[in-house]
Chains A and B, each alone.
Chain A
């Protein structure tokens, strides 16, 4: 009996409100390998970022993505390099999944010249024109109209490109999100809104903040179809993502994917996370860890042996170690940089 992993919201008459069931999607061995490796890179990168934060190498706020890796890795597997990506401030995983250099990301975290923003943006404000990654935005909600604008431009320019606009469950209560849903549907814009529902907006649970807790239904008033997905299962994410991307590329307007996910760490480094029990966290980690789920699949399908998995772990650790070394050795930005890049 297949486990039900998605729920859908009908939007107008465009899409029937059937409950979709998990089929066994066809993922090639190479795709599965890439899922695993990409998720592992984010996990190890974030663990290391947490560690060097503790050493004082990273300042300010640092929001780790640990636990949510399947969302961005699964979604990014559905798009091409011409498509645009934008998110809020929990953004390290998105950048790595966009193919940005871990060295440049880590060096931005340490505020160094070699960082993507020359050390002037920090954890929450990084961009890569080359990777079509449009930030990295520190104001909750701001990335949603901005992402809608990226999709507007894609359509205006007559491309077939699409935008992945990520946000959290906290963002989903900002007014500008609904202004965006309205315009995106009105103008038929090619944007997939990915709501990463990790259950807590900082310390406030979805139940305590949201009158409608089924966030995939938040587009109903605007006829934007939505679907709830097991965001801890990279295969479910990728499958739902493929459908959503096809929908928006076909010119049918925006689509909402609510990813049920979980962050293992606090909201930011200084969050003691007293709003949830240790048992809750441990249960998620033990039973729903996205990387472990993917690892089991790799072993079960004999795609990788234990030894090969260990080798991948070593490779990924080496990449992260290199990134840290680069981020420690890259000089701080020159004092003259204080006054550059303000206006052109």
Chain B
């Protein structure tokens, strides 16, 4: 049976083109790979090759024809043994471009997010049950809590290993992996060359293959070299594989400003990674949260960005003495209850927020401080429940303001609790500059408790 040769689409965007020149004539024999015609597209002149063998029975569109729509029959090909008489009974679908593919059914319209007034508010998460009453606690530094979390998970699961720069023999650039080499040996605690892009990718490959890697970045500033592997390989593969593949991997290390290390070593990446579907982003403040969430992160089947803070490594907090203390990912915690204004923060920002809340208490303003703990998925239920109560919100973070975590929170509050607001949501952030080195400028570039106090007063109309 004769077959139609259709005007091909030669680029993802081509809808029509010019049939510039025929390289074959009616009656010519062609075989697969022969150039049939030249077509001018919006980008270039391209050759159309034959896919099947046969004889050109009829040319339907003459050379030098403009605006030939994609899928229009341009010629008819006769099979082996057929002659032109086969064309007699052949009615080419010449009238219109051949319908080769049903138009996709229009997808059901994505439901538009319900507007605030009709939305059923969800309850805030209650973190009070995370540590059973009467549990003994011990005061340890964040650094040790993180180490303990890794060691416990490595004891439980042979697939868990740690890799990174100076994690083994040096005992960790910030001593977070101290003692792990002694206990688990060089097979599971692996010093890498200084090659972030490479070892991040190696880590993701091991996760594809069934291991549970913990990749330490000496700081998240250096993970910029590896961000392609984190975003394109780790975060997107579950989706791109239709759920077949997963990358259960933890990328951890200090994030944000330390002290006097200037622009290239002092950036908060919380909002960067929180932008990416497929990633979990955790940024704990206390030692207990650091431990319980890192254990959860290691067990989680998704790639997790675990943002620590160098200055907090040495801070000590009460940590429950429990065999297996694991916290839920994606749940915020009310770190200090209050009624007049809600502070939403995470990581180092909690230091400023808690200090500000304490200072405000002395002036008769009761601030509720929410520690997000997980940045993605963000526990907006807890934030919104608090804002419905206090009617005011101030976000606090060390990162930059534009497209920051605070910006996202402000947008969501506007979408879901607009009617509850008595004042605009305000952001306290790192200033819109690369981190300066000079001590006085560095201080000015970072948020401070004083700044939080000032902004809180302004939203309470108390300044």
A residues contacting B by CB (< 8 A) are 47-48, 50-51, 53-57, 59-61, 84, 86, 115-121, 125-129, 134-139, 142, 144-154, 156-157, 175-176, 179-180, 182-183, 186, 264, 269-270, 272, 274, 285, 328, 332, 335, 338, 340-344
Contact = CB atoms under 8 A, between A and B. Distances in A.
7 contacts: A51-B51, A55-B71, A128-B244, A139-B228, A176-B197, A264-B33, A335-B107
Given A50-B51, A142-B233, A145-B198, A55 B8 contact: yes
A156 B212 CA distance: 12
Contact of A176 (B110, B201, B246, B302): B201
Most buried by A among B238, B242, B302: B242
B198 A270 contact: no
Contacts of A121: 239-242
A125 B201 contact: no
B187 interface: yes
Contacts of A84: 209
Interface in B159-214: 161, 187, 192-193, 195, 197-211
A179 B194 CA distance: 9
B241 A59 contact: no
A308 B198 CA distance: 49
Which 5 A-B residue pairings sit nearest by Cβ, starting from the closest? A149-B205, A145-B201, A54-B8, A179-B198, A270-B11
B105 interface: yes
A57 B99 CA distance: 11
Contacts of A144: 201
Contact of B193 (A148, A183, A285): A183
Dominant SS at the B interface? loop
Given A139-B228, A180-B201, A269 B10 contact: yes
Contacts of B49: 50
Nearest to B197: A176
Contacts of B6: 54-55
Contacts of A60: 12
B225 to A, nearest CB: 9
B104 interface: yes
A145 B244 contact: no
Contacts of B280: 343
Contacts of A180: 198, 201-202
Contacts of B197: 145, 175-176, 179
B338 to A, nearest CB: 32
A16 B229 CA distance: 36
Interface of B: 6, 8-12, 14, 32-33, 41, 43-49, 51, 70-71, 100-101, 104-105, 107-108, 110, 161, 187, 192-193, 195, 197-211, 228-229, 232-233, 237-246, 277-278, 280, 301-302, 377
B8 A142 contact: no
Nearest to B277: A342
A157 B246 CA distance: 18
A118 B208 CA distance: 19
Contacts of A134: 205, 208-209, 245
Contacts of A269: 10-12
A186 B43 CA distance: 47
A146 B301 contact: no
Contacts of A136: 240
Contacts of A264: 33
A147 B205 contact: yes
B12 A59 contact: yes
Given A116-B242, A135-B241, A183-B192, 19 more contacts: A50-B49, A54-B6, A54-B10, A55-B6, A134-B209, A135-B245, A136-B240, A139-B233, A145-B198, A145-B201, A146-B229, A149-B201, A150-B206, A152-B202, A152-B211, A153-B211, A183-B195, A270-B43, A344-B301
Contacts of B101: 55-57, 328
B242 A179 contact: no
B228 A142 contact: yes
Contacts of A152: 202, 205-206, 211
Contact of B205 (A116, A153, A175): A153
Contacts of A151: 205
B243 to A, nearest CB: 4
A264 B49 CA distance: 12
A134 B237 CA distance: 10
B8 A146 contact: no
Given A51-B51, A332-B105, A182 B239 contact: no
A116 B241 CA distance: 7
B240 A117 contact: yes
Contact of B12 (A145, A270, A335, A344): A270
A55 B48 CA distance: 12
Contact of B243 (A118, A149, A179): A118
Nearest to A111: B104
A146 B244 contact: no
A146 B210 contact: no
A129 B406 CA distance: 40
A338 B107 CA distance: 10
A154 B208 CA distance: 11
Most buried by A among B49, B107, B202, B246: B202
A323 to B, nearest CB: 15
Contacts of A126: 241
B71 A56 contact: yes
